[in-house]
Amino acid sequence: MNTTHILHLYNRIGFGIIPKELNKLQHKEKHQIVDDLFSSSTHFSPLEIDVNFLTKLSKTERKSKKRELIKKSRKKIREYNLAWLNRLFNPTELLREKMTLFWANHFVCEDKNILYVQRYNNTLRKHALGNFGDFVKAISKEPAMLKYLNNKQNKKKNPNENFARELMELFMLGQGNYTETDIKESAKAFTGYNHNFNGKFIIRPRHHNTSEKLFFGQQGNFNGDDIIDIILEQKQCARFICEKIYQYFVNDTINKEHINEMTTVFYGNYNIEKLMKHMLLSDWFYASENIGTKIKSPIEFLVGMNTIVPYKMEKPKQSMLLQKLLGQILLNPPNVAGWKGGKSWIDSNTIVTRLRLPSVLLNNAEIHYSDKGDFEDSNTNFSEKKLRKKAFIKTITNWDVFNKNYKGLTNKELISNILVSPISIGTKNVLNVASNIPQKEFCVQLLSLPEYQLC
**Confidence bin at 387 (pLDDT 50/70/90):** very low
pLDDT in tens, 111-170: 999 999 999 999 999 999 999 999 999 999 999 999 999 999 999 999 999 999 999 999
Separation between Cα atoms, residue 372 and residue 387, nearest integer Å: 9
Cα 241 to Cα 105, 230, 292, 364: the distances in Å are 12, 16, 23, 42
Helices (H), 40-171: 52-55, 59-64, 66-89, 94-104, 114-127, 132-140, 143-148, 162-166
At residue 367, the pLDDT reads 72
- The closest of 144, 160, 152, 146 to 110, measured between CA atoms, is 144
CB 28 within 8 A of CB 1: yes
Specify the amino acid at residue 246.
Y
CB 4 within 8 A of CB 22: no
CB 167 within 8 A of CB 140: yes
CB atoms within 10 A of CB 32: 12
At residue 368, the pLDDT reads 64
| Burial of 171 per CB tally in 10 Å (0-12, 13-18, 19+) | buried
Helices (H), 141-234: 143-148, 162-166, 180-189, 224-232
pTM for the whole structure? 0.94
pLDDT in tens, 39-98: 999 999 999 999 999 887 777 787 788 889 999 999 999 999 999 999 999 999 999 999
Instruction: Break the chain into its structural domains and give their ranges.
Output: 3-39+234-290, 131-233, 298-453
